[in-house]
Structure 1
């Protein structure tokens, strides 16, 4: 963007500081803040004037930096808490999976076996679905062998009751 010479002169003022050391100091502070010397001086003059006028709701750059630091700390704490809650949730999901899988893994189990409603619903909705997609849809990792065995035991029981049957393309609801 090209600024006309007259426009630039209208917006310019000349400031003479008491010492050369003060000029160096201001230049260092401006560079440290990653802003031009003009912006540095304008910001600090505006901050000073606003404080003198006691503007309500006006916050200096330093105050805003402190607020940002506090917010960063809050974000960090909430991120840690979020990670912890996710781990707890994952652990509870695993424990629930083991609890639900137990009746299908123990041959001597006596009592009522509750079938995974998601599995039955999945078979009903999809018509035919292969084993890999069943595990993926149920969010079961193939590495969790107990859970995989429990799903296959449920499928096998559904087959015995005539509610599902294996086909060349996967499992098919037949109920």
Structure 2
């Protein structure tokens, strides 16, 4: 049997929803330099190859995977939030500890100055008390933090590294 004898057995008829769609498909086929029949055949073959390819993922699998990923993001976000809260509490504890060292007049030992305080003072400009507190992330209503910073400034002043001016503190270094 030749090709012409099996033509009816191999034929597939497709009715498109509109004339415009048929014209669009014909235009695409012409752009590819092929007939409408070959264009449709190539599109169907490409679709089938994708379905048979192991990398092709079904929509249901994608929805399931997306749900799992969203749950993972939620869990990680909660974990991050808890860790950030813990970090904030620990930083506050460190601030209180440092404040205690500088506010205790009878403390003997090595006092560690806040690196951010030194950097803020060394910036080259006069810095007011309020700006200094803000730079260090200290609350003006927190007496321990204010005492700590005042103690550090007083220690630096006694070594001749800073001086108090009417507008604030200046690094002399």
TM-score by length of 2: 0.68
**Could you list the per-position Cα deviations for residues 103-133 of structure 1 after superposition, in whole angstroms to 9, with x for gaps in the alignment?**
1111221222222222123212233111111
In structure 1, the gaps of 5 or more residues are 13-45
| Mapped partners of 1:144, 1:73: distance in 2 | 40
The yes-or-no answer on 1:55 pairing with 2:53 is yes
SS at match of 1:126: coil
User: Which of the two has higher C-alpha Rg?
Assistant: 2
Q: How far 1:162 moved relative to its partner?
A: 2.4
Within 5 Å, give how 1:19-58 maps onto structure 2.
50=48, 53-58=51-56
The corresponding residue for 2:138 is 140
In structure 2, the gaps of 5 or more residues are 1-17, 26-43
**Could you list the per-position Cα deviations for residues 64-115 of structure 1 after superposition, in whole angstroms to 9, with x for gaps in the alignment?**
1101100100000000010011011111111111222221111221222222
- Summarize the Cα distance change of 1:50–1:126 in structure 2 as closer, same or farther, 3 Å threshold: farther
Within 5 Å, give how 1:64-143 maps onto structure 2.
64-143=62-141
Q: Which moved more, 1:66-75 or 1:121-130?
A: 121-130
- Summarize the Cα distance change of 1:151–1:116 in structure 2 as closer, same or farther, 3 Å threshold: same
The corresponding residue for 1:8 is 21
| Mapped partners of 1:101, 1:164: distance in 2 | 19
The yes-or-no answer on 1:173 pairing with 2:171 is yes
| Mapped partners of 2:136, 2:50: distance in 1 | 65
SS at match of 2:123: helix
| Mapped partners of 1:9, 1:147: distance in 2 | 77
TM-score by length of 1: 0.67
Aligned residues: 136
SS at match of 1:166: strand
The question of whether the paired residues in 2 share the 8 Å contact of 1:123 and 1:173 is answered with yes
The corresponding residue for 2:160 is 162
| Mapped partners of 1:174, 1:88: distance in 2 | 37
